[in-house]
Structure 1
Amino acid sequence: MGSSDGLLLTFYGDDFTGSTDAMESLARAGIRTILFLKPPTPEVLAGFTGVGAVGVAGDSRAMTPEDMAKTLPVAFSRLKDLGAPLFHYKVCSTFDSSPEIGSIGRATDLGQRIFASPFVPLLVGAPRLGRYTVFGNHYARSGVDGKIYRLDQLGPMRNHPVTPMLESDLKAHLSKQTAKEIGLFDILQLEGDDAPAEERLRAVLEGGQEIVLFDVLYDEQLSTLGELMWNQVSRETPLFVVGSSGVEYALTAHWKATGELAEPQEFEDAGEVEQVLAVSGSCSPVTDGQIGRAIEHGFVDVPLDPARLVNPEEARGESEAAVERMLDEIQRGNSVIAHTCRGPDDPRREVTAKRLEALGYEGLAAKLKGGRILAEATGSILQAVLQRSNVRRVAVAGGDTSSYIASQLDIQAVEMIAPAAPGAPLCRVHSEGGTLEGMEIVFKGGQMGRKDFFVDVLRGTTKDVVGGGR
């Protein structure tokens, strides 16, 4: 399904890794999807043929409600102008957000002013990624031990440095961010056979619900959810949907079931390359384990000093030293992994926090502003190394980190070329200035991927380790 049918949907991701996750789910279903860093004009989009979906990789997960109000309406309106019948505000499948930062409720309020949907479907579960919603409570499979935890009991989310998730009831969590009435289409209503699913949904909406959260436990349930959403769309009044990549998995399951999508050709493995350049700003224990495994397999460890990178007087010296060391190792033929953190107990975190405090940043401002400064500095280091080397495959780890790093690179858009890990595809770069044209890059969230993730990226192999069937 491509441009001959018009765009099927557009989406705006609240961070970069979440955006590539949505792109992967569509691309693997046979829909050519282009992910831009800013909303494309029709003239820019005309340069890409056979496109069925367009996304924008945003960074609203790290925004205050005030910043959202300045940024999102413009982006939403420009994407609406592209004429797709459905618009998806893509959020993380762990729903991490708060009234102060990355407010999903605020984004929903802003989106409804633009799209005025009859109601807002909310689908957060994505069984393929190990994310499940049952009776409104959300569960996630741990990337550390493989077990499934209620969201508020999953360590990395409960202890998230900016938006800790202390509530697994998604309705209760979201109600702190919006005044809209939130309903639930629960697992029993989803599985019921007393009436068609459409009638069961109407019964929920009769209560005046403005947002409806959908339960999902198994992949086999996605087609029904996709049908319920797709039945609401029209090109005159595009449907506004909020959720994880479960939205794309549901829609594509429905389109396959109705014959609107042919069985896609499977992506082949990308193949091994001589070396990979990886950078990480994630504090997740999952990424820490992945970095350790990469070093065991020959990646050269390049620890960055975040306390120096956030200090205007020391940042340039630290960056230049890091660039030279990374280039030296690359010229020796080695793969390199540079990082600003190794897990939640890394002592660099405390040292950097004290440095930010000395620079006048406190509390939440220190976490947000400091995180952005640090990630942008890391992005500048990466861009400098790429400009002076022949490395053609790159890996970036960290949700917010990826958004800010991408903004420092010569990237207009990316497009999936091969799987790497569920929710983190290997992409080809479309470069605005031409310096990175054709480069291969993968962006992954802190919780994503198996322990051999960076090694798999080097080898170009695919590892689908999470499933959601009955």
Structure 2
Amino acid sequence: MPRPLPDGPLVAFYGDDFTGSSAAMEVLAFAGLKTVLFLAPPSAERLRAFRDHRAVGIAGVARSQPPAWMDRELPPAFRLLATLGAPVAHYKACSTFDSAPHVGSIGRATEIARGIFPGDWTPMVVADPGMGRYQSFGHLFAMAGGTGYRLDRHPTMARHPVTPMDEADLGRHLARQTALPIGLVDFVAMKRGEADAALARAREEGAAIVSLDVLDSETLAEAGRLIWERGGDPVFAVGSQGVEAALVAYWRAAGLLPVEAPVARRAAATRIAVVSGSVSPATAGQIAHALDHGFAGIRLDARRVVDAAAFAQEIGRAVAEARAALDAGRDPLIYSAAGPDDPAVAALREAVQAAGLDPVLASERLGSGLGRALREIVLSARLTRAVIAGGDTSGHAAMQLGIDALTALSPLDPGSPLCRAHGADTPLDGLELALKGGQVGRPDFFPAVKQGGRAPA
């Protein structure tokens, strides 16, 4: 008999960036489990406002931070989540495993969490077929432009400006970040019905973290079974929104959750505003598509980020142009670059190096500036819907909006739902907001947000 779902919170998670956190929320919310995503550790009062929710997340910016930051900031966030008593706790990492020993260390975050959440072993699920992520014999593959790539040959991840991926074997990659022993349950064992035996062997060999292959719906549900039935109570898991996808797949297969009907799309918005700090090829294609379909492109000179006063002036210029575009009946799209090959990317890197500015600080300043711009635009034009594009950008930008939580409203593309913004005392309470990771979404993503979603197939 499957282990039943208890009352109260089922999942408590911390996300290492805002876009990935909204992806985890999406999986649970559209499975019929009310989920709230806080943009900072919430007060007891704010938690009580969402006390009927079955899942609670905290979106963070750990992906762009060094281990010393994690040592300071993650323990209180994890301890807060532990007070919820959810049977599953989760450190949500990017589905392309963006991380390195010196920045965004998933290994260090796991070490910290294991000191707070008891358990003999830590399941790790990174793949999620719904997002075009697949794991075979411990190696991660990701789709890009309709083609699957081993992660160290992926057109974006192999060239990531902060955490370039040179190793597709996630166990090897993670071993650079932690001394915790890492094991594997591969898809062959799962397909043969030998997953329990493979897990037992990995644990007998001393594995503290056990990576679970996922290739299809069968292995996804099997990964969920291992987490729910063999992980302990509570269980601490690490990985992408694949953790939530695996749990939902198993809960549905076991009859613990019904198969939900599709969620209705939202009505179209009259106007929207978009800000983007992403340099991914996917976002570049989305920017090009939007500009070809009437959006007003406003290029931000990101080089000016090296001087705070000059950058404030640059943000002011972009806001003024955005207001003019809205007055002319067009949707403004402020962006810092159009893909990794945009000369603006190299120019920004050179400017940061020449100024001796910490690249992490430069990223924070860019994202925060875009957030301030978006807030001014939304308030002055009384917009009801907006988009922030870029994983690191979304975290820093969203924190400038004066909101403290998100709930999912409607699907757009996998990993990026349309959300409702919440705030106890802010004029942006009720804003409809999409946070889009760099690699997420089809080319027409921005117009789809404006239309409230996509027409049923």
- 1:35 matched to 2:31? The reply is no
2:315 paired residue number: 319
- 1:165 matched to 2:165? The reply is yes
1:61 paired residue number: 63
* Correspondence for 1:296 among 292, 297, 309: 292
- Measure, in 2, the Cα distance between the counterparts of 1:187 and 1:4: 29
Shift of 1:220: 2.3
Amino acid corresponding to residue 259 of structure 2 in structure 1? E
1:114 paired residue number: 116
Contact between 1:151 and 1:165, CA under 8 Å: does it hold in 2? yes
1:242 paired residue number: 238
Contact between 2:405 and 2:421, CA under 8 Å: does it hold in 1? yes
* Correspondence for 1:131 among 127, 130, 133: 133
Tell me the number of residue pairs that the alignment of Structure 1 and Structure 2 aligns.
453
Residues 442-451 or 250-259, more deviating: 250-259
1:220 paired residue number: 218
Shift of 1:203: 2.5
* Correspondence for 1:95 among 94, 97, 100: 97
Shift of 1:463: 7.5
SS in 2 for 1:178: coil
Residues 352-361 or 117-126, more deviating: 352-361
Contact between 1:124 and 1:244, CA under 8 Å: does it hold in 2? yes
- Measure, in 2, the Cα distance between the counterparts of 1:336 and 1:321: 13
1:334 paired residue number: 330
1:449 paired residue number: 441
SS in 1 for 2:439: coil
SS in 2 for 1:427: strand
Shift of 1:378: 1.1
- Measure, in 2, the Cα distance between the counterparts of 1:448 and 1:326: 24
Shift of 1:164: 0.1
Contact between 2:180 and 2:208, CA under 8 Å: does it hold in 1? yes
Shift of 1:324: 1.3
- Measure, in 2, the Cα distance between the counterparts of 1:202 and 1:107: 25
Amino acid corresponding to residue 148 of structure 1 in structure 2? G
Amino acid corresponding to residue 68 of structure 1 in structure 2? M
Contact between 1:84 and 1:238, CA under 8 Å: does it hold in 2? yes
Amino acid corresponding to residue 297 of structure 1 in structure 2? H
Residues 119-128 or 311-320, more deviating: 311-320
Amino acid corresponding to residue 175 of structure 2 in structure 1? S
2:396 paired residue number: 404
* Correspondence for 2:80 among 78, 81, 86: 78
Shift of 1:407: 1.0
Contact between 1:85 and 1:233, CA under 8 Å: does it hold in 2? no
- 1:16 matched to 2:4? The reply is no
Amino acid corresponding to residue 32 of structure 1 in structure 2? K
- Measure, in 2, the Cα distance between the counterparts of 1:286 and 1:257: 33
TM-aligned CA distance change 1:71 to 1:464, over 3 Å: farther
**Unaligned residue ranges in structure 2 (runs of 5+):** none
Amino acid corresponding to residue 387 of structure 1 in structure 2? L
- Measure, in 1, the Cα distance between the counterparts of 2:75 and 2:82: 10
User: CA-to-partner distance for each residue in 1:318-357, whole Å, 9 max, x for gaps?
Assistant: 1222111111211222111110111112222233233323
Amino acid corresponding to residue 445 of structure 1 in structure 2? G
The equivalences for 1:309-458 within 5 A come to 309-361=305-357, 365-366=358-359, 368-458=360-450
Identity %: 42
Amino acid corresponding to residue 341 of structure 1 in structure 2? A
- Measure, in 2, the Cα distance between the counterparts of 1:462 and 1:241: 33
**Unaligned residue ranges in structure 1 (runs of 5+):** 466-470
Contact between 1:421 and 1:463, CA under 8 Å: does it hold in 2? no
- Measure, in 1, the Cα distance between the counterparts of 2:198 and 2:317: 62
Shift of 1:233: 5.3
* Correspondence for 2:451 among 446, 451, 459: 459
Residues 35-44 or 280-289, more deviating: 35-44
- Measure, in 2, the Cα distance between the counterparts of 1:4 and 1:220: 24
Shift of 1:4: 8.4
TM-score, reference length from structure 2: 0.96
- Measure, in 2, the Cα distance between the counterparts of 1:316 and 1:257: 53
Contact between 2:389 and 2:438, CA under 8 Å: does it hold in 1? yes
Shift of 1:389: 1.3
TM-aligned CA distance change 1:323 to 1:99, over 3 Å: same
Amino acid corresponding to residue 417 of structure 2 in structure 1? P
SS in 1 for 2:347: helix
User: CA-to-partner distance for each residue in 1:9-56, whole Å, 9 max, x for gaps?
Assistant: 100000000000000000111000000011223432221253100001
- Measure, in 1, the Cα distance between the counterparts of 2:347 and 2:139: 37
Contact between 2:305 and 2:362, CA under 8 Å: does it hold in 1? no
Contact between 1:183 and 1:212, CA under 8 Å: does it hold in 2? yes
Amino acid corresponding to residue 395 of structure 1 in structure 2? V
- Measure, in 2, the Cα distance between the counterparts of 1:417 and 1:305: 34
TM-aligned CA distance change 1:432 to 1:308, over 3 Å: farther
SS in 2 for 1:11: strand
- Measure, in 2, the Cα distance between the counterparts of 1:452 and 1:28: 22
User: CA-to-partner distance for each residue in 1:352-376, whole Å, 9 max, x for gaps?
Assistant: 2333234322xxx32x111111111
Shift of 1:459: 1.5
Structural RMSD (CA): 1.7
- Measure, in 2, the Cα distance between the counterparts of 1:4 and 1:462: 35
Shift of 1:218: 0.3
SS in 2 for 1:95: coil
TM-aligned CA distance change 1:190 to 1:35, over 3 Å: same
SS in 2 for 1:313: helix
- 1:255 matched to 2:251? The reply is yes
- Measure, in 2, the Cα distance between the counterparts of 1:324 and 1:294: 20
- Measure, in 2, the Cα distance between the counterparts of 1:310 and 1:373: 9
1:468 paired residue number: none
SS in 2 for 1:388: helix
